[in-house]
């Protein structure tokens, strides 16, 4: 799905597909440099990080495994439910391995700090975080994010894996959802 297909639902277009994939290619270069000779395990956070993992991993020159976790966060709305739990756990042991958690977006940082704390308990050799997008509030959370695609304004965004009520995930760019769409 392209921006033009849903332009009327967006109050602003933030990034074109080329801008996003271009930035991810730069980050893949950083990851290649930092993980040379290491045992890289990418942990993608479902469902939103599917696009980010797919594009990032294809740009890597380093071998990596790709695994997935699902955490409950937002429901169908645009505000956090505040309740976090693991809906789908990893199917591999990460003890002694070099783990890179890949997120779609960090808003309050609540999901990420929960996840990082949980994964650290499994004793990986190293644990770092990459996110495609980050909102300003996330700067206040105490989890270190090593790789950030873009810092974005504090608006509800859709596209590139991010949904509203299950829709817009397959939009190839990123835009601000017009509040009229969700009655805001
Ligand atoms: P946090 O725990 O950092 O507040 O929120 C993280 C999760 O909330 C993200 O993984 C994502 O699923 C959802 N989220 C946060 N901000 C947005 C947004 O602007 N748009 C969409 N679609 N989801 C968001």
pLDDT single digits (tens) 13-22:
999 999 999 9
Atom of ligand 1 nearest to the CA of 138: 3
User: Would you state the pLDDT for residue 161?
Assistant: 98
User: Would you state the pLDDT for residue 73?
Assistant: 65
User: Would you state the pLDDT for residue 98?
Assistant: 98
In the chain, % of residues over pLDDT 90: 83
Mean pLDDT over the full length of the chain: 93
Mean pLDDT of 139-148: 85
Ligand 1: residue whose CA is nearest its atom 13: 74
DSSP string, the chain: --HHHHGGGEEEEEE-HHHHHHHHHHHHHHHHHHTTTS-EEEEEEETTTHHHHHHHHHH-SS--EEEEEEE--B-SSSSB-----EEE--SS--TTSEEEEEEEEESSSHHHHHHHHHHHTT--SEEEEEEEEE-GGGGGSS---SEEEEE--SS-EEBTTB-BTTBSTT-SSEEEEPGGGTT-
Distance 107 CA to ligand 1 centre (A): 6
Query: Residue 139's pLDDT band (boundaries 50, 70, 90)?
Result: confident
Mutate which of 107, 115, 116, 167 for ligand 1 pocket (most atoms within 8 A of beta carbon): 107
How is domain 17-152 classified at the architecture level of CATH? 3-Layer(aba) Sandwich (3.40)
Mean pLDDT of 149-157: 96
pTM for the model stands at 0.94
Q: So which residues are the catalytic ones? A: 107
In tens, the pLDDT along 76-126 reads: 555 555 668 899 999 999 999 999 999 999 998 988 998 999 999 999 999
Ligand 1: residue whose CA is nearest its atom 23: 162
Q: Where are the domains of the chain?
A: 17-152
| Cα separation, 147 vs 104, whole angstroms | 12
User: Would you state the pLDDT for residue 85?
Assistant: 86
């Amino acid at each position: 799905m392209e921006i033009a297909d849903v332009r009327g639902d967006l109050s602003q277009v933030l990034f074109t597909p080329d801008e996003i994939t271009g930035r991810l290619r730069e980050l893949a270069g950083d990851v290649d440099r930092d993980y040379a000779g290491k045992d890289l395990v990418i942990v993608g956070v479902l469902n939103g990080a599917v696009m980010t993992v797919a594009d990032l991993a294809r740009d890597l020159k380093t071998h990596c495994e790709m695994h997935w976790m699902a955490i409950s966060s937002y429901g169908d709305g645009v505000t956090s439910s505040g309740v976090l739990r693991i809906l789908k756990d990893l199917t591999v042991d990460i003890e002694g391995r070099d783990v890179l958690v890949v997120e779609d977006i960090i808003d309050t940082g609540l999901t990420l700090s929960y996840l990082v704390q949980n994964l650290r308990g499994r004793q990986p050799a190293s644990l770092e975080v990459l996110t495609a997008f980050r909102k300003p509030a996330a700067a206040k959370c105490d989890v270190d994010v090593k790789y950030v695609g873009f810092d974005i304004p504090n608006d509800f965004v859709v596209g590139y894996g991010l949904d509203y009520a299950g829709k817009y995930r397959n939009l190839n760019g990123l835009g601000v959802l017009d509040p009229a769409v969700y009655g805001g």
